[in-house]
Amino acid sequence: MSNPAAAEVRVPTRTRPHPRIRIAHLGLGAFHRAHQAWYTELVQRAEPGDWGIEAFTGRSPAQAETLAAQDGVYTLVVRAAEGDTFERIESIAAARDGNDTERWRARLADPDTAILSLTITEAGYRRGADGELNLADADVAADLQRLRAGTGEGCVSAPGRIVDGLRARRTAGSGPLAVLSCDNLADNGAVTRAVVGALAARVDPELAAWIEANVSFVSSMVDRITPATTDADRDEAATETGVRDAAVIVTEPFTEWIIAGEFPAGRPSWEHAGARIVDEIEPHERRKLWLLNAGHSLLAYAGLARGHETVDAAFADPVLAERLETLWSEAAAVLPQDAEEIEAARAALRERFANPRIRHHLAQIALGGAHKLPPRIFDVVRARLAAGLDVGTTAGPVVEDWIAYLQRPDTPAAEWAPLGGGVNPDDLTVDALLAILAPDLRSAL
């Protein structure tokens, strides 16, 4: 209901008592609040009292400060092509600055804590081109020194913070827990295990052995398109709900969560909210990464080059829509699902990408290409070659478009960092790029 006058005075407030905190989350961004916190909210509405989340920011404290000022409560705007619906989300019991080491350790050391979930971006796992923990990363190297010195105070990388927190849990004798990755990476649980294990082994082999014996690393496929919130989104929500909410999140109606792994200290009944618990994650991850995310990356780089700003605008461009369909067909040839299931996923994506009311900026999707292209584009090429197929016609042009994006004057300098210092921006070639990120594909693409 529209109520602009009240919008200036009311803020979101809690309608249920604070739940007992059982989940620690690292990466308090938009996606966590549209996805895992929403599933957990549905569980809490049915069974109040348990499974509260204490969420920590990954880098800047800003999101924690905004949310903490509202006692963790915020409005989720579910934006369909036809209109918006508004949901109050109360599952986050506490929002914290990730730099608050004392609070972080206390949360991980608390025997109530059963799960540490993550949305730290692909880059946050600090892997090098070989897929292993990048020990040459300056933050990782500094965190290793801090952890070896015994304090761990001031760790900045996600692997550093996780090792520090798990050490606190071991010292407290608080028993096993699950680490649950919710980032767009293939086999994200195994990736998390590898980077955490590699760092822990260099800090203290006994800690690494404890982690191996007590911590399960759960994989999940996550899907819900959630763009960065704008001032216009906040103003519209205030007008419609009568609540002035600085922490509004806008998301699409579609949502999917598929989870595989053990939760040794328990978990919420997320399946009652629509999540699926499976034995094998890989087919689901591939479908999502190779259709949705690969499609997003194609539209981002080619769309920016053709003057588009958002996904729906790029998708409405017939040239790009045709390239996208070809990319999907090339991926479909090496996906394990049957033709009917793949066509259903493609049909849903056509509708989702065309939603004109989700203003998903290509510039946001374009960020982090060095970490996004390997699972989204290169792995498809590898699968095609392994199946005796050709490389297809779409991967090479995506890499060329990415190079053009890297060379744009408005591209953040940080986008070059994963390529190392040895590349000349003016004459970066597909071959030079593959030599760094995917040497096995040099002669193929």
Ligand X SMILES: NC(=O)c1ccc[n+]([C@@H]2O[C@H](COP(=O)([O-])OP(=O)(O)OC[C@H]3O[C@@H](n4cnc5c(N)ncnc54)[C@H](O)[C@@H]3O)[C@@H](O)[C@H]2O)c1
Place of tokens 């760092």: 199
285 near ligand 44H, judged by CB under 6 A: no
Residue 111 half-sphere exposure toward CB, CA atoms < 13 A: 4
| Phi, psi of 317, rounded to the nearest 5 degrees | -80, 115
The dihedral over CA atoms of 39, 45, 46, 48, expressed in degrees to the nearest 10, equals: 110
| Of 225 and 345, CB closest to ligand 44H | 225
- Contact track, ligand 44H, 146-185, x by CB under 6 A: --------------------------------------x-
Question: Which residue stretches of 78-204 are H helix?
Answer: 101-109, 138-148, 158-172, 188-203
Rounded least distance, CB 297 to ligand 44H, Å: 7
Question: Which residue stretches of 180-317 are H helix?
Answer: 188-203, 205-214, 231-241, 282-287, 294-305, 311-315
123 near ligand 44H, judged by CB under 6 A: no
Q: Contact with ligand 44H (CB under 6 A): which of 225, 302, 342, 437?
A: 225
Q: Contact with ligand 44H (CB under 6 A): which of 365, 406, 441, 445?
A: 365
Say whether 61 sits in a helix, a strand or coil.
Answer: coil
Q: By CB under 6 A, how many residues form the interface with ligand X?
A: 22
Question: Which stretch in 71-79, 122-130, 324-332, 341-349 sits in contact with ligand X by CB under 6 A?
Answer: 122-130
CB-count burial class (<10 Å; 0-12, 13-18, 19+) for 263:
middle
158 near ligand X, judged by CB under 6 A: yes
DSSP letters along 316-365, please? TSHHHHHHHHHHHHHHHTT-SS-HHHHHHHHHHHHHHHH-TTS--BHHHH
Rounded least distance, CB 444 to ligand X, Å: 27
Binding to ligand X, residues 202-241 (CB under 6 A) = 222, 224-226
Binding partner selected for residue 349 from ligand X, ligand 44H, none, CB under the kind-specific 5 to 8 Å limit: none
Q: Contact with ligand X (CB under 6 A): which of 27, 159, 160, 261?
A: 27
Residues near ligand 44H (CB under 6 A) are 122, 184, 223-225, 292-293, 296, 365, 368
Residues near ligand X (CB under 6 A) are 27-32, 57-59, 119-124, 158, 183-184, 222, 224-226
